Copies of this chain bind each other. A is one copy, B any other.
Amino acid sequence: MIHTPFKTRDEVPAQSTGGQDVEAVIEVYPEYVRGLEDLDGFSHLLVVFHLHLSEGFGLKVVPLDETVERGVFATRSPRRPNGVGVSVVALERIEGDKLHIRGVDMVDGTPLLDIKPYIPHLYPGPDEVRIGWLEGKADRLRGKEPGGRLGA
């Protein structure tokens, strides 16, 4: 489970850099703690979680801070057929069954599905890709928290 300061979805920061320094704690079941070994060497994690507050889905959705409807798979909206969220967060430290992380926008109590090491070499950089309807909005994205105002 992911414990964050955001008790409701409305509290998730609206500003693009709002969640970047927000601290949170991932708590894993004690029987999985051994699987966390070697993870403390990584500064960032890929966190996979259930968008548990999202009810139903839309094929066309209006992303946050936007006015135009987009195909849901071209957005990070939580209103998707399979409610799986993926975010990169900074790992501060691990204490037993608790991972102290930073840079979140999940609602408090979000169920954790998986943790993976974040390996940047597997991800192309901004100069190597096209980002469709988000083109020209890159300034808004730069410096923002992972998984931020664009949805989950």
Contact = CB atoms under 8 A, between A and B. Distances in A.
Interface of A: 32, 34-44, 46, 48, 59-60, 70-76, 80-82, 84, 86, 88, 113-126, 128-135, 138, 141-142, 144, 146-148, 150
A126 B43 CA distance: 11
A120 B129 contact: yes
26 contacts: A34-B60, A37-B71, A37-B74, A38-B71, A38-B74, A40-B132, A41-B135, A42-B74, A42-B129, A42-B132, A43-B130, A44-B124, A44-B129, A46-B86, A48-B48, A48-B84, A76-B116, A76-B117, A76-B119, A82-B113, A118-B123, A120-B129, A120-B131, A122-B141, A122-B146, A125-B125
| Copies assembled | 2
A37 B146 CA distance: 24
A134 B39 CA distance: 11
Main secondary structure of the interface of A (DSSP, over half): mixed
